[in-house]
Amino acid sequence: MRTTDRRGTPLGVAAIGYAFMGKAHSNAWRNVASFFDVPAFEQKVLVGRDAEQVAEAAAKYGWSESATDWRQVIERDDIHVVDICAPGWMHAEIAIAALEAGKHVLVEKPLANTLAEAEAMTDAARAARARGIQSMIGFNYRRVPALALAKELIAEGRLGTVRHVRAAYLQDWLSDAESPMTWRLRKETAGSGALGDIASHAIDQIQHLTGENVTEATGTLRTFVTERPGPGGIETVTVDDAAWATLGLTGEISASVEASRVATGQKNSLQIEIYGSKGTLLFDLENLNELGFLDATLPIREQGFRRILVNEPEHPYMDAWWPQGHVIGWEHTFTHQIRDFLTAIDARTAPAPSFEDGLRIQRVLAAIEASANDRSRIIAVAPSTPALKAGA
């Protein structure tokens, strides 16, 4: 493995957060160098609030040590990369401090809990980039090989003119009204519910796959279970359980988005349908190795959806894994994400998606929420600077 540190030492990595996302990211850091040619790095420290629990997680996930104070960690000279897997309310403070300390930063989506925080983070990332410090937001589904292939097919013109997109991200882990209160159900810690948590993925895919930006939005938010049992008794849920939106994009594309965490029977289904003048693509995250493709340029008697099993060496990312016919899983998207982030740091190029991309999503989320609060009013999405291209 190569190194990018000017002193010839491996990049020191610190991860902040050891729960669901911390575990997923740790798994990627532990495995990425076994399959991809990446710069040399060391899993230095895992950070969490509970000293005993984070120490146990660090030993289990392959980190050399643990800590409870992220501020002290980012001041260390042996830390070069900070991976933020903490809840959304902590993103802005940690990311800005790390960037100002000269650390490369990867942060989980959504970028922040508020538009103001996202703007401050983007400003800090832009200033750090001028000093050679890179940053990236973790929309890991961009690294699903089937979706990366879909992006290639659209860019090659195989769908012709894209006309409209349907995206639905459906889960059911909150269907039971007795499911306990968590930080994800409090606006002060989560920012929003299904909207920011999973609709953000769907919106990112719509913009990423089409190469167009959302310009207007109408939205509806709904909280079906308004109270849940908490540690001290019944608590009020202050975020949405489900969200719906209709989006207008540049390129005269229309899109619909649905997100729910109370869709009984749906475990983790991100369904994307992309309709063009010459063809259609279908994808479902619960069958993430497959892409449905209809080529409408064929004679009508030959048309029909065909299943592309995306695990050939010619498909994105797949040459690093197993022989043809041996599928990969959800966790591999995080490995691909770490690979791309390290490669960009090594090449001294801006990785994607950038904080600017994250800010663009945040503006769409804010517009949907504003529309929902105003009962169906169309909300214009403020224009933003063009997205950074990888290698720019």
Domains of the chain: 11-140 (3.40.50.720), 142-328+355-380 (3.30.360.10)
Mean pLDDT score, 61-66: 98
Name the nearest CA neighbour of 188 among 122, 239, 119. Answer: 239
Residue scoring higher pLDDT (348 or 383): 348
- 271 Cβ neighbours under 8 A, 6+ residues apart: 166, 167, 168, 169, 170, 282, 283, 284, 285
How many C-beta neighbours within 10 Å does residue 161 have?
A: 12
Can you tell me the mean pLDDT for 117-131? Answer: 98
Q: pLDDT-based confidence at 2, cuts 50/70/90?
A: very low
pLDDT band at 1; cut points 50, 70, 90 = very low
Given a contact cutoff of 8 angstroms between Cβ atoms, the answer to whether 351 and 81 are in contact is: no
Confidence of residue 291 (pLDDT cuts 50, 70, 90): very high
| Res. 7: pLDDT tops 60 | no
pLDDT value, residue 379? 80
**At 240, is the secondary structure helix, strand, or coil?**
coil
**Which pLDDT does position 385 carry in this prediction?**
65
What pLDDT is attached to residue 3? Answer: 35
Give the pLDDT mean for 202-210.
98
* Confidence (pTM): 0.93
Task: Summarize the confidence of residues 227-254 as an average pLDDT.
Answer: 97
Residue 252: HSE in the Cβ half-sphere, 13 Å Cα cutoff: 4
Expressed in angstroms, the distance from the first to the final Cα of the chain is 24
**pLDDT score of 9:** 85
Q: What average pLDDT does the chain have? A: 95
Tokens 């990888």 belong to residue? 390
Work out the average pLDDT over 19-35. Answer: 98
Edge-first strand listing for the sheet containing 379-380 = 306-309, 290-295, 279-284, 269-276, 162-170, 253-260, 242-249, 214-222, 379-380
How many whole angstroms separate alpha carbon 220 and alpha carbon 209?
A: 24
Structure letter (DSSP) for residue 382: P
Q: What is the model's pLDDT at position 8?
A: 67
User: Do strands 135-138 and 104-108 pair parallel, antiparallel, or not at all (unpaired)?
Assistant: parallel
Structure tokens at 3: 């190194």
Quick one: what percent of the chain has pLDDT higher than 70?
96
Query: Residue 234 burial (CB < 10 Å; 0-12/13-18/19+)?
Result: exposed
CB 5 within 8 Å of CB 73 = no
Looking at the DSSP assignment, which residues form a beta bridge with residue 256? 166, 246
Residue 58, pLDDT > 80, answer: yes
Helix (H) or strand (E) holding 366: helix 355-373
Stretch 170-195: mean pLDDT? 96
In terms of C-beta density within 10 A (0-12 exposed, 13-18 middle, 19 or more buried), how is residue 51 classed? Answer: exposed
Give the torsion sign (CA, 216, 200, 372, 171). Answer: positive
The mean pLDDT of 328-332, rounded to a whole number, is 98
Q: Where are the beta strands (DSSP E) in 17-99?
A: 41-47, 65-67, 81-84
Q: Give me the pLDDT at residue 387, please.
A: 58
Please return the burial class of 19, using the count of CB atoms within 10 Å of its CB with bins 0-12, 13-18 and 19+. middle
Q: Average pLDDT in the 156-162 region?
A: 98
Q: What is the model's pLDDT at position 376?
A: 60
Residue with tokens 């609030």: 49
The conformation of residue 302, written as its DSSP 8-state character, comes to G
Q: How many CB atoms lie within 10 A of CB 116?
A: 12
DSSP class of residue 196 equals I
